[in-house]
A and B are shown apart, each in its own frame.
Chain A
Amino acid sequence: MTLAAGQGFLSPTGVEIAFLLVGVATLGAAVVTVTTRQLVHAALWLVVALGGLAVEYLLLTAEFIAWVQVLIYVGSVVVLLLFGLMLTKAPIGRSPDADSGNRWAALAVALAAAATLVWVVVDAFRSTWVDLDKATAGAEAGAGSTRVTGEFLFRHWVLPFEALSVLLLAALVGAIVLSRRDREDPKAGGGTGPTSGRSGRRPGVRGTGAGTGPRTPRLGTAGTGVTAPRTSAPEAPAPRASAGRTPAGARGDAAGQAPPPAAPQPPAPPRPTPR
Chain B
Amino acid sequence: MHLVYPAVLAALLFCVGLYGVLARRNAILVLMSVELMLNAVNLNLVAFDVWLRDTLHAGQALTLFTIAIAAAEIGIGLSIVLLVYRNRCTSDIDRLRDLADVPTAADRMPGTTDNAPDVADGKRLTRGEAAA
A residues lining the B interface (CB < 8 Å):
7, 9, 13, 15-16, 19-20, 23, 26-27, 30-31, 33-34, 39, 42-43, 46, 49-50, 53, 56-57, 59-62, 64-65, 68-69, 72-73, 76-77, 80-81, 83-85, 87-90, 97-103, 105-107, 109-111, 113-114, 117-118, 121-122, 125-126, 128-130, 132, 134-135, 138, 143-144, 148-149, 152-153, 156-157, 160-161, 164, 167-168, 170-172, 174-175, 178-179, 181-182, 218, 221-222, 225-226, 236, 239-240, 242-244, 267-268, 270, 273, 275
Other than the given A62-B46, A106-B19, A221-B104, 19 more pairs (CB < 8 A) read A19-B5, A43-B32, A60-B1, A73-B70, A77-B35, A77-B71, A84-B28, A84-B82, A98-B25, A107-B23, A109-B19, A117-B11, A135-B53, A143-B53, A160-B65, A168-B72, A179-B82, A240-B88, A243-B87
State in angstroms the CA–CA spacing of A105 and B93 once bound together: 16
Q: Are the CB atoms of B75 and A171 closer together than 8 Å?
A: yes
Q: Are the CB atoms of B104 and A175 closer together than 8 Å?
A: no
Q: Are the CB atoms of A226 and B23 closer together than 8 Å?
A: no
Per DSSP, are chain A's interface residues mostly helix, strand or loop, or mixed? helix
State in angstroms the CA–CA spacing of A56 and B67 once bound together: 16
Per DSSP, are chain B's interface residues mostly helix, strand or loop, or mixed? helix
Q: Are the CB atoms of B23 and A102 closer together than 8 Å?
A: yes
Q: Are the CB atoms of A117 and B15 closer together than 8 Å?
A: yes
State in angstroms the CA–CA spacing of A68 and B68 once bound together: 10
Q: State the Cβ distance, B123 to closest chain A Cβ, in Å.
A: 17
